[in-house]
Structure 1
């Protein structure tokens, strides 16, 4: 069979398969749209996402955490503050933290102990995985806090720009915060949720200054704390909020630029190890390879 006929048959087969796939996807999309038109955005119980209380790891970790939670209130208060900084605000977060610690430590320790007894090694080796499992939730929490603070630091100038635009257009401060939390969640997702909590607190009767202080304490971010301090001082002394926010935005953007320049300056030092470890051996092989082969040939056949 000529190659042109084979190419034509292959093209037709691929085109037909793609058309069938497209029609199936379009049918599924229309079915979803019709379902949403009649039933709203609520998902059916079959496709509903499981809540936290319905998940298996929660059912195992929460009772274990309630048994292993210490009674020291200072430790619990410090941990609850760190959980707030990481974005874990549920009432069961502390119990889940200690439950995951105990569960991971026990599971990894027992599994390693069984392997150690089977392989007739030292039983002391089981303490290493148990310690790793015990510290894993603390490491995950520290990583979550660091990631969230970076997200707030990245989103804060843009959120304050939007806040200034809303204030300059005639909205009040609280209304501008409510507008950002409802309409700009895709641009500033982390701060939009925090602003939503602020709106809930102010609408429930909490004073603005106390709600702003709670906003700063909930997140533990230094730039956000500075902005809250500026806003409280502006409200106390009666100065323009927009001007105070513009000063804070300029300072934060300058700090971001300095951090970017600092990271750029460290690139040369960080490239030293890949250069020496990866590029230099290949370069030396390319340069010295022919000379080494020539020497080997000379030693074989004599000079």
Structure 2
């Protein structure tokens, strides 16, 4: 199993990465860019690295139309856009079942009395091994939540740049394209999502629909509220710049409130390590002289 895992890792991940690196180097050299560390080379590398997740999203979108719970779409939302990601995910589930069965059977064989038949150990190990099949799904959900946190950290910067572009007189479509290009270096995944939104706008999709699909992809309440804000501003004819500025101020207030909430919850979370690690040591330091004196008097 170890040899097979190493072979699959080399065949599915290492070799395509090396081939991609060679192709990028050749393309940069053909365009007259001698060094990969130059500014032009970094821009080209950002464009090339962003194009792969975009292509993976549209492939997953085609499969998701026929199957709402497509695995490729969920992997893309979690940040895994490689074509080999579904295969690796399936292998991880199979490996989890095998490892759970083998580990449980070894522990039961070692600790159970000899009178207990082996059939019970096999049945219990099989049930625990089948239960381990959900471990990759739990890990995938955690990766998806971590990806949402990445989007949440970059979304206020997106709002500030949109306000700047709107104040400069740019249209919303041009502002989205410019902001997506600017965020590709600092907030890569948010820039990729904005590039997908820009392609949808170029294809003729209305802005309200593109924003709604953006909020569905990144799964943030802030993005859903922004989509509603654009729709209401368009229907009521209000100033979009003022609406963006007001919403940006509200987002900053919400970010401060979330930070204060985490700070207020910190003392409660610190009670467990304090009670388990520091409090016993303090009690030993305080009670040790008393125990020594009592030992000299009563014992």
CA shift at 1:40, angstroms? 6.0
**CA positional deviation for 1:93:** 6.1
Contact 1:163 1:180 in 2 (8 A): yes
Change (3 A) 1:112 1:212: same
Q: Which residue in 1 is equivalent to 2:59? A: none
Paired positions, count:
238
Mark the CA change 1:128 to 1:256 in structure 2 (over 3 Å): closer, same or farther. farther
Q: Is the 8 A contact 1:159 1:188 kept in 2?
A: no
- Answer yes or no: is the 8 Å Cα contact 2:173–2:198 preserved in 1: yes
Residue 86 of structure 1 corresponds to which residue in structure 2? 78
CA contact (8 A) 1:112 1:129 kept: no
The Cα shift of 1:159 comes to 1.0
CA contact (8 A) 1:198 1:212 kept: yes
User: Match of 2:60?
Assistant: none
- For the residue of structure 2 that corresponds to 1:206, the secondary structure is coil
Q: Once the 2 structures are TM-superposed, how far is the Cα of residue 109 of structure 1 from its aligned partner?
A: 4.9
In structure 2, distance between residues paired with 1:215 and 1:228: 9
CA pair 76-266 structure 1, distance change in 2 beyond 3 A: same
For 1:226 and 1:143, locate their aligned partners in 2 and report how far apart those are by CA, in whole Å: 24
Q: Deviations over 1:132-177 (max 9, x none)?
A: 5311221122112211222222221111001111221232211111
Q: Distance in 2 between matches of 1:90 and 1:201?
A: 22
Question: Is the alpha carbon distance of 1:101 and 1:278 closer, same or farther for their aligned partners in structure 2, counting shifts above 3 Å?
Answer: closer
List alignment gaps of at least 5 residues for structure 2.
1-24, 42-48, 53-63
Matched, 1:77 2:76: no
Equivalent position SS for 1:216? helix
* 2:101–2:128 Cα contact (<8 Å) kept: no
Q: Which residue of 2 aligns with 1:57?
A: none
What does 1:1-303 correspond to in 2, within 5 Å?
A: 41=36, 76-79=67-70, 82-88=74-80, 97=89, 99-100=90-91, 102-109=93-100, 111-112=102-103, 115=106, 122-127=121-126, 129-299=128-298
Say if 1:181 and 1:195, in contact at 8 Å, map to a contact too. yes
Closer, same or farther in 2 for the Cα pair 1:241/1:100, shift >3 Å?
Answer: farther
* Contact 2:233–2:239 (Cα < 8 Å) also in 1: yes
Cα deviation, residue 101, structure 1: 6.0
- Equivalent position SS for 2:184: coil
- For 2:271 and 2:107, the matched residues in 1 are separated by 41
TM-score by length of 2: 0.66
Partner secondary structure for residue 245 of structure 1: helix
Of structures 1 and 2, the larger Rg is shown by: 1
Q: Runs in 1 of length 4+ with deviation above 3 angstroms?
A: 35-42, 73-76, 78-85, 87-97, 109-121
Q: What is the rounded CA distance, in whole Å, between the counterparts of 2:107 and 2:280 in structure 1?
A: 41
Say what the alpha-carbon RMSD is for the aligned residues.
3.5
Q: Deviations over 1:19-65 (max 9, x none)?
A: xxxxxxxxxxxxx9xx96766649xxxxxx9xx9xxxxxxxxxxxxx
CA distance in 1, matches of 2:287, 2:277: 16
Find the aligned partners of 1:170 and 1:274 in 2 and give their Cα distance.
54
- 8 Å CA contact 2:183, 2:190 repeated in 1: no
Unaligned runs of 5+ in 1: 1-31, 43-48, 53-72
Whether the 8 Å contact between 2:93 and 2:136 is mirrored in structure 1 is: no
Q: Is the 8 A contact 1:79 1:94 kept in 2?
A: no
